[in-house]
């Protein structure tokens, strides 16, 4: 049972435009949501997070939106830069653990 | 500041051989520690986590085991590797809050 889903395995965006990565979850007990960025052969790095009591959190070019009624969160990157090309994982927190989605490979086209 | 180390960085082992991967964390006390595996083209699968010395919770039944002999040391082991154990192994730590911080990973290839 996959509790956290990223239905788009890949996404290509022109440099300077907005990148939108999506994530859906099924467990309403999750209380915190996170996005990680991962380059090949490296560990994931924490990007941005949001508590379940909020609907938006912003940090520079990165904004995460949470729609609890739809059990959906999204990561917006504006403007997209070539260095943003990586795999992005969403994760949901509950019971001392994180449950990860399968990732979306973002490619920024110069 | 906190630092997490994993070694070795890469490992090639024959089927049936033993395994020992080590993870250590510096700059924090009593962290939660986690082992994940990323198989080729897949997401991050939680294997084990520990909330304290000697306390191990297993998430996926398999031929791997974990131990935490010291507060900031986490070891992943196997007595006999299978081909399906190939993957990218990641250690992570968490002090407070929900954010986990990951190490650089170990690429394991079982031949």
pLDDT tens across A81-96, in order? 999 999 999 999 988 8
Please, which pLDDT band fits residue B62 given cuts at 50, 70 and 90?
A: confident
- For residue B47, the chain A residues in CB contact (below 8 A) are none
pLDDT tens across B13-56, in order? 999 999 999 999 999 989 999 999 998 777 899 999 999 999 99
Contacts of residue A72, Cβ cutoff 8 Å, sequence gap at least 6? A22, A23, A24, A25, A66
**What's the N-to-C CA distance of chain B in angstroms?**
38
Question: Is residue B97 scored above 90 in pLDDT?
Answer: no
Please, which pLDDT band fits residue B61 given cuts at 50, 70 and 90?
A: low
Q: How far apart are CA A103 and CA A85, in angstroms?
A: 13
pLDDT tens across A43-73, in order? 999 999 999 999 999 999 999 999 999 999 9
**Mutation target among A39, A46, A97, A99 for the B interface, most CBs of B within 10 A:** A97
């Amino acid at each position: 049972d996959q509790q956290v889903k990223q239905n788009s395995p890949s996404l290509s965006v022109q440099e300077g435009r907005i990148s939108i990565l999506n994530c859906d979850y099924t467990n309403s007990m999750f209380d915190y949501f996170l996005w990680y960025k991962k380059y090949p052969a490296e560990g994931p790095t924490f990007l941005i997070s949001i508590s379940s009591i909020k609907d938006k959190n912003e940090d520079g070019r990165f904004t995460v939106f949470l729609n609890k009624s739809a059990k959906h969160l999204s990561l917006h990157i504006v403007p997209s830069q070539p260095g943003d090309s990586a795999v992005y994982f969403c994760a949901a927190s509950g019971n001392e653990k994180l449950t990860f989605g399968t990732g979306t490979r973002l490619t920024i086209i110069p | 500041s906190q630092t997490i180390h994993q070694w070795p960085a890469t490992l090639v082992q024959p089927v049936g051989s033993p395994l020992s991967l080590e993870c250590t964390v510096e700059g924090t006390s009593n962290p939660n520690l986690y082992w994940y595996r990323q198989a080729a083209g897949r997401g991050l699968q939680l294997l084990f986590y520990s909330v304290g010395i000697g306390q191990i919770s297993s998430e996926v039944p398999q031929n791997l085991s974990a131990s935490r002999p010291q507060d900031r040391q986490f070891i992943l082991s196997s007595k006999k590797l299978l081909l399906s154990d190939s993957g990218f192994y990641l250690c992570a730590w968490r002090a407070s809050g929900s954010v986990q911080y990951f190490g650089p990973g170990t690429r394991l290839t079982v031949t």
